[in-house]
Amino acid sequence: MKQWFVLFNKEWLEILRSYRIIWLPIGFIVLGASQPIATFFMPDILASAGNMPEGAVIRIPTPQPFEVMAGALSQFGVIGLLLVALSGMGAISGEKASGTAAMVLVKPVSHVSFVTAKWAALLLLAVLSFAAGYGAAWYYTASLFDSVGWGEVVQSALLFALWLGFVGTLALLFSSLLRSAAAATFGALATAAVLSIASSSLPFEQSWNPGRLSGLAAESLNAGAASPGDGQGAVWLTVIVTATAMLAALAASARSLKRMPSND
Amino acid sequence: MDNLTNSQWISLIVPLLIVQLILIAVALTVLVKADRTRGPKWLWAIVIVLVNLLGPIAFFLFGRRSD
Amino acid sequence: MALLTVDRLTKRFEGTLAVDGISFAIGEGRCVALLGPNGAGKTTTIRMLTGLLQPSSGAIRLEGMKPGQDLRAWIGYLPQTPAFYGWMTGREFLVYAGRLCGLSAKEAYARSDELLARVGIGAAGKRRISGYSGGMKQRLGLAQALIHRPKLLILDEPVSALDPIGRREVMTLLGELKSETTVLFSTHVLHDAEELCDDVLIMSAGRLAEGGSLSGIREANRQPMMSLETEGDSRSKEWLEGWLKRLPAGFEAASATPAGARLIVRDLETARRTVIRELADADVRVTKLEVGYTTLEDLFLKAVAHS
């Protein structure tokens, strides 16, 4: 355990020194705050676009606050996910290519610790950044529209954080399997996109699909709806499947590293 | 739409601008202090200042060299 | 007493045998050179010893190690080109390495400072590694390999990437270190092995061609030898070519050198007389005639050529 914290501290120090601690939270804050502001000024922006016929009246219904927050989540679901995947780019493939992984793994270090320490630092950064960005979205929504209840925001945040964590774990897995950092990032994002699109477009029940999580998070913001998706039990099933998949990905990643700690 | 006073408006926009300025300032500081970068420094300076949000992030991700 | 025992160690890569069932033992406190040309399987062997590569078959045992214990805790390893986190300082990396080996924070700091001074980069310890030269990285690599006082220090071509000055400095350091711990290092330069080592293991094409103490091997393979060189004019060349084909009795083996030939002879006195007479008769323009004994280099070349 002591050794695990040594590994984790190194990862965190790297996050500080590579300025990820600055750009990832700021990226999420800007995304989160921009959504309510853009939504608020949308009628003005459309009006000033100027190509409206004389006397035309634009009527855009003022969106519900939870819809604004859901809009922020969909921003996080695209650009936020990209930023998280980029922040973990080359996490393992880079160390394998440069030889630093071999330098560390000839010490009596467990491969599982090596991978999970990276994973924990990566996810901590992602979750903190997301929390900051979602907090900004919440604050701007409350200031410009109306407030959204604590309970709904926390529940949606937890579901979305799990989705982010899942994609971050995929990025780490691909990073240990593929040599190219770019291919690993692309692979993780493509997998996330496929799962997400499948969950919303395929006609059958997909309680098992982690790609559902972002949608569930958006739905759970609406206090009016009875319960998100197809009931609380199905949500728990999704959560459990996602967590299990994350554990399996970590195990696969550690195993691949043990078999091949360096590229040559 | 007109129920926002000027000061409310400023109190909302200014924090967002400050956060972005911090990001740009840090990126420029790192750029100036770096011994070597991937690609010319002046080009990165333009990208950092002009490309909103993603410019500085792209510099942190791809512009720095530390081997 | 053998510290390390290797038994029929084999590594197969997609059909090719990189290491073909080698067995050897390394005595405690010895300095051993793993010698061989590039591609002989030295690095593969070392990577199996350090646990970076799983052997296809065979066993590696360290004296005093209980079954199930982590071999890596006992070994310090310096790869051919050590890699570091450029954003760390040299001292930070050493402390990190030390703590990963189970040292307490206080111990790790004390040991790091001691080793930085020891390898001669004490002043650079607070600088980022990204600014280090190749020689400095090699020294830092040596320091991190020693951080947990390993029983066996394994070095893969520790000086081959260095310039002559860096090479000399690291060789001197190794000379000091070998009195403190058991050292195994690989090299393709015979001279480095002769300078530092007690024992040599000569590898060629994945097999162990020769192994034992340096003096023992030198003694066992010492043969009378004669080396002959001419001016290289056409008449002398012709004569030498012809003579090599009909070597008189008592001359056993021959290898060509750029300007002449090296011959292993049965009896030095008769060989010397024969050669001098023949040279005079044929009026060969001799530049050099050396009479002596085979060196380790002859053995190295022979061992490498044979397999």
Q: What is the pLDDT of residue B3?
A: 61
CA distance C183 to chain A (A): 16
Look at residues A168, A176, A195 and name the one whose alpha carbon lies nearest to residue A81: A168
* Helices and strands (H, E) in chain A, number of each type: 11, 0
**Closest alpha carbon within chain A to C98:** A107
How sure is the predictor about C215, in pLDDT bands with cuts at 50, 70 and 90? confident
CB contact under 8 A, A106 and C77: yes
Q: Do A108 and C87 touch (CB under 8 A)?
A: no
Residue B30 to chain C, least CA–CA distance (Å)? 13
Tell me the pLDDT tens digit for each residue of C111-145: 999 999 999 899 999 999 999 988 899 999 999 99
Summary mean pLDDT of chain C: 89
Assess C87–A contact: CB distance below 8 Å, yes or no: yes
Q: Find the angle CA(A196)-CA(A198)-CA(A203) to the nearest 5 degrees.
A: 135
- Say yes or no to pLDDT of A13 above 60: yes
Confidence check: pLDDT of A6 > 70 = yes
Q: Which residues of C touch A97 (CB under 8 A)?
A: none
Half-sphere exposure of A171 (CA within 13 A, CB side): 30
SS3 C207: strand
| Nearest residue on chain B to C86, alpha-carbon basis | B67
What residue in B sits closest to C134 (Cα-Cα)? B67
- A68 backbone dihedrals φ, ψ, rounded to 5°: -65, -45
- Mean pLDDT across the stretch C251-265? 78
Strand stretches in chain A, DSSP E: none
Q: Which residues pair with C210 in a beta bridge?
A: C202
How far is residue A253's CA from residue A118's CA, in Å, rounded to a whole number?
Answer: 11
Pairing of strands C182-187, C152-156: parallel
CB contact under 8 A, A34 and B1: no
CA distance A30 to chain C (A): 28
Dump pLDDT digits (tens) for C91-109: 999 999 999 999 999 999 9
Confidence at C217, pLDDT banded by 50, 70, 90? confident
Give residue A250's domain range.
2-259
Is A242's pLDDT higher than 80?
yes
Whether residue C72 is predicted with pLDDT greater than 80 in this model: the reply is: yes
Please, are residues A68 and A218 in contact by the beta-carbon 8 Å criterion?
Answer: no
Q: Which residues of B fall within a CB distance of 8 Å from A22?
A: 22-23, 26, 60
Strand partners, C255: C262
How many independent structural domains does chain A possess? 1
Q: What total of structural domains would you count in chain B?
A: 1
Distance set, CA A29 to CA A33, A76, A134, A171 (Å): 6, 10, 7, 22
> What does chain B come to in residues?
67
Cα–Cα distances (Å) from B49 to B16, B22, B41, B52, in that order, read 16, 12, 12, 7
Question: What is the distance between the alpha carbons of residues A240 and C114, in angstroms, rounded to a whole number?
Answer: 50
Question: What does the pLDDT read at residue B1?
Answer: 46
- The answer to whether C279 and C235 have CB atoms below 8 angstroms apart is no
Helices (H) and strands (E) in chain B, counts: 3, 0
- At residue C218, the 3 state secondary structure works out as helix
For B1, which of A27, A43, A98 is closest by C-beta distance?
A43
C-beta atoms of B56 and A23 within 8 A: yes
Query: Per CATH, the architecture of C221-306 is what?
Result: 2-Layer Sandwich (3.30)
Question: Is A10 at the interface with chain C, CB within 8 A?
Answer: yes
- φ, ψ at A262 (rounded to 5°): -150, 165
Task: State the residue range of the domain holding B21.
Answer: 6-63
Q: In terms of CATH, what superfamily is C2-219?
A: P-loop containing nucleotide triphosphate hydrolases (3.40.50.300)
| Residue A264 located in a structural domain | no
pLDDT category of residue A84 using cuts at 50, 70 and 90: very high
What pLDDT, in 10s, does the model give residues B34-67? 888 999 999 999 999 999 899 999 999 999 876 5
Top pLDDT among C224 and B25 is at B25
Domain membership of residue B52 (yes or no) is yes
Chain A residues in contact with C144 by the CB 8 A cut-off are 103
Cβ contact, residue pair B16, A86, below 8 Å: no
**Could you tell me the residue ranges of all domains in chain C?**
2-219, 221-306
- Alpha-carbon distance B56 to nearest alpha carbon in chain A (angstroms): 8
pLDDT at A226 over 60: no
Q: How far is B53 from chain C (nearest CA, A)?
A: 25
A interface with B, Cβ–Cβ below 8 Å: 18-20, 22-23, 26-27, 29-31, 33-34, 37, 43-44, 83, 86, 89, 98, 140, 143-144
d(CA C140, CA C120): 9
- Enumerate the residues of chain A whose CB falls inside 8 A of the CB of residue B57: 23, 27, 83, 86
Q: Is B12 part of any domain?
A: yes
Residue contacts between A and B (CB atoms, under 8 Å) = 46
Token representation of residue A207: 């309680």
Note the pLDDT tens digit of each residue in C9-55: 999 998 889 999 999 999 999 999 999 888 889 999 999 999 899 99
Question: Within its chain, how far is the Cα of C86 from the centroid?
Answer: 30
One-letter-per-residue 3-state SS of B27-48: HHHHHHHCCCECCCHHHHHHHH
Res C267: pLDDT = 84
**pLDDT at residue C67 above 70?**
yes
CA distance A86 to chain B (A): 8
- What chain B residue is nearest to C132 in terms of C-alpha separation? B67
Quote the ipTM score.
Answer: 0.91
Residue of B nearest to C131 (CA): B67
A41 Cβ contact partners less than 8 Å away, ≥ 6 residues apart: none
Query: How do residues A152-178 score in pLDDT, each as one tens digit?
Result: 999 999 999 999 999 999 999 999 999
**Can you tell me the distance from the alpha carbon of C175 to that of C162, in angstroms, rounded to the nearest whole number?**
17
**How much of chain C exceeds pLDDT 70, in percent?**
99
- Give the residue from A13, A8, B58 showing the smallest Cα distance to C128: A13
